[in-house]
Every structure is written in C-alpha cells, then in structure tokens.
Structure 1
C-alpha cells in the first residue's frame, strides 16, 4: 500500500532528477505529477485515497476529494483583475443561466481550485479561507513584483509556519500558509 512518505519521496526524487537537468519545479508541482502517474487528477485526490486506506490496507467505504471553496464576487471585471491578473489563476469554465444572468465560474492555479459566484445565495462576502502550500515566500515575492495597487501582501511568521494573506475586492480573505518545517 502506498503511504504519504512514499509519494512524497517520489516527488522529491523527481525534483532532484529534474534539477540535475537544470529544470527547477516546486515541490507542489512534483506532487501533482506523482498523482498523475497514478492516474489521478491531483495530489489532493491521491492524498485522500492514501488517507482512506486503513492500517491493514483495506479501503474505507468512502473517500474525500478536493474541497472547492465558493467565493462571492460582485463584479466580473474586478474579479478577473484580482484572481487572473494579480494572483495568476486561469478560467477553467464559466456558466450563466442566460444572458445578463449572474456568473458562476471555476478558476485554478496549480493544485488550487476556486469557484467564483455572483449568485447571492452561494456564499457570503467577507469569507476567509486557508490554503496550505509550499513556496509561500516565492509566491509572495511574485505578487509584490506585479505592483498591484490594491494589495501588497506581506509575510508573517506564525507558530504554525509562514503566512501570506491577500484580500480580494469583495472582502474575501485568502491565507496562503506554509506549515512549519515544510518546503
């Protein structure tokens, strides 16, 4: 049975092999590649499958997949400026029930997927989410380099690790966290 330590060792080995060839990738990208090697869409799905197996290797009767937060937005242009332009997400798909109806869309960046919604009942503005990641310091420096006039996130050392918080134009807070001792 595959363990987290085995999958992470595979990712580490992959990163080292690529680095020898002059190709640097973050650990999170290596984990995503390992998941695809097992025929799964993401590290989150592989991790959930690993977690779903008991000590004797037997599968639990259920398995969780990636949770996708729904984020309330009010203005598509402002949302695109922030999520696509500033943070670097890409639009996966968009849905409207008709012309001039509210937007519901999926955006993603690496292994992170969010749903953005103009629908009043989908989420409350001013939400707060935690996104665990590796390379938060490099991510934060990349954001600062974009010189986005509405958001200049800093880094905070917390007891649990390093944190970079951004706030979207609608008051939603995303806390990017790198756990203590992770890289």
Structure 2
C-alpha cells in the first residue's frame, strides 16, 4: 500500500475539511511537544493519507487519485453539506471514468474516480 503525504498548515482547517466535509476518519494524531507541528493520519474506505505540518515532509499542491465505488452518490452527499469552501463538480472522461476533484485548503487535490 502507498500512503501519500500532504503538507498542511493548520490542523483545525484540515480536520474541518477531511473529517467534517469529506467524511474521512481521523485515525491518529501525533505531536512531539505542545508547540511542535502535528502529523495526522486520515482514512476513507481503502485510502490512507498522512497530513503533516512539518516543514520538509511534503510540498503543498500535491495531487492523488482515489478509486471509489459510487462516485456520483459521494458527490451528492458532499454537495448536500453546502461546505463554504468547496463545490466539487463531476465529469465523465473519454477514458471511461467518472471523476470528482476536490482541493483542500492547502491546494492539495484528490480526484475520486470510478471506472465505467
């Protein structure tokens, strides 16, 4: 299994986005000391993502693809939440996938896709 690492700058904003909006689980959080950066693991179905405030762990603006069954249902669930900072669209591609891309508050992109 491959676990991508996304650079974040604010754990509260990342929790609002990944847990409250996208529906990911926050599996664990780690901070060496109170004033140190935080490192978080989130998961959704078979996908794991590490979120890090640590400088040098990753660059903001990364992009990953996550295969998901029922992308259209997931899209409907997200649009019903009326999240103020994202309104993801759907697209049907020439290579026979349905895709929905969301961008987190730190410009990292996740494309959820389903093969048709």
What's the TM-score, normalizing by structure 2? Answer: 0.95
Match of 1:145 among 68, 80, 88: 80
Q: Does 1:154 align with 2:89?
A: yes
Match of 1:82 among 12, 17, 30: 17
Q: How big is each residue's C-alpha offset from its partner over 1:33-80, in whole Å with a ceiling of 9 and x where there is no partner? A: xxxxxxxxxxxxxxxxxxxxxxxxxxxxxxxxx111101100011101
- How much does 1:90 deviate? 1.3
Structure 1 stretches of 5 or more lacking a match?
A: 1-65
Runs of 4 or more above 2 Å deviation: none
Structure number with higher helix proportion: 1
Q: How big is each residue's C-alpha offset from its partner over 1:8-57, in whole Å with a ceiling of 9 and x where there is no partner? A: xxxxxxxxxxxxxxxxxxxxxxxxxxxxxxxxxxxxxxxxxxxxxxxxxx
Q: What pairs up with 1:105-116 in 2 under 5 angstroms?
A: 105-116=40-51
Cα distance in structure 2, aligned partners of 1:111 and 1:130: 12
Match of 1:102 among 22, 27, 37: 37
State the superposition RMSD in angstroms.
0.8
Q: How big is each residue's C-alpha offset from its partner over 1:66-123, in whole Å with a ceiling of 9 and x where there is no partner? A: 1111011000111011001100111111111111100011111121111000011111
Which is higher, the Rg of structure 1 or of structure 2?
Answer: 1
Structure 2 stretches of 5 or more lacking a match?
A: none
Match of 1:163 among 75, 99, 102: 99
Q: Does 1:118 align with 2:53?
A: yes
Return the structure number with greater relative CO, CA threshold 8 A, min gap 6: 2
Cα distance in structure 2, aligned partners of 1:177 and 1:68: 18
Structure number with higher strand proportion: 2
- Number of aligned residues: 115
- How much does 1:148 deviate? 0.2
Cα distance in structure 2, aligned partners of 1:137 and 1:79: 24
